[in-house]
């Protein structure tokens, strides 16, 4: 029973890794061609899929900034809406509106 379970885990890792490799982008492959990854995954049944998964995860996370770093790109901006207090343009417009309002109030009040 234990051997069957280990065999299923190995086959599952193999199938998952090959499917993930087939859907990956060139940037996720760590500088190696896809055919070489297939050889590594198939010939090293447990080690190969684990290395592939670890390599792809480190690339997605940004890695260490080594060979896989993307030069010329700044830090990633969060996808989705940004809170108003985190948006510098919104804060600048708010400050400008506040100053205009204060000027209007000063201009509307006659000197005493």
* Average pLDDT of the chain to the nearest whole number: 82
In a domain, 79, yes or no: no
- Angle in degrees, 0-180, between the axes of helices 2-22 and 34-43, rounded to the nearest 10: 180
Dist. CA 104–CA 96, nearest whole Å: 12
Ranked by mean pLDDT, which of 17-21, 26-30, 71-75, 103-107 comes out on top?
17-21
Reply yes or no on whether the pLDDT at 110 is more than 70. Answer: no
Residue 70: inside a domain: no
What's the CA gap between 30 and 12, in Å, rounded? 23
Banded model confidence at residue 68, pLDDT cuts 50, 70, 90: very low
Tell me whether residue 102 is in a domain: yes
Q: What is the DSSP letter of 78?
A: P
Is residue 77 in some structural domain? Answer: no
Assign 50 a pLDDT band (cuts: 50, 70, 90): very high
Residue 78 forms part of a structural domain: no
pLDDT (average), residues 87-94: 87
Domains in the chain, number:
1
Supply the pLDDT for residue 25: 85
Asked whether residue 70 carries a pLDDT value surpassing 70, the answer given is no
Q: Tokens for 108?
A: 């509307």
Q: The domain containing residue 17 runs over which residues?
A: 2-64+84-108
Tell the burial category of 52 from Cβ atoms under 10 Å away from its Cβ (0-12, 13-18, 19+): buried
């Amino acid at each position: 029973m234990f051997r069957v379970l280990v065999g299923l885990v190995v086959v599952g890792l193999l199938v998952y890794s090959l499917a993930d490799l087939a859907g990956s982008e060139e940037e996720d492959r760590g500088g190696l061609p896809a055919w070489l990854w297939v050889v590594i995954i198939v010939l090293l049944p447990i080690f190969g899929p684990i290395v592939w998964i670890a390599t792809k995860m480190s690339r997605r996370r940004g890695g260490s900034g080594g060979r896989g770093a993307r030069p010329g790109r700044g830090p990633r901006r969060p996808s989705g809406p940004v809170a108003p207090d985190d948006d510098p343009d919104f804060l600048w417009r708010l400050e400008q509106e506040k100053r205009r309002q204060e000027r209007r109030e000063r201009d509307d009040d006659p000197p005493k």
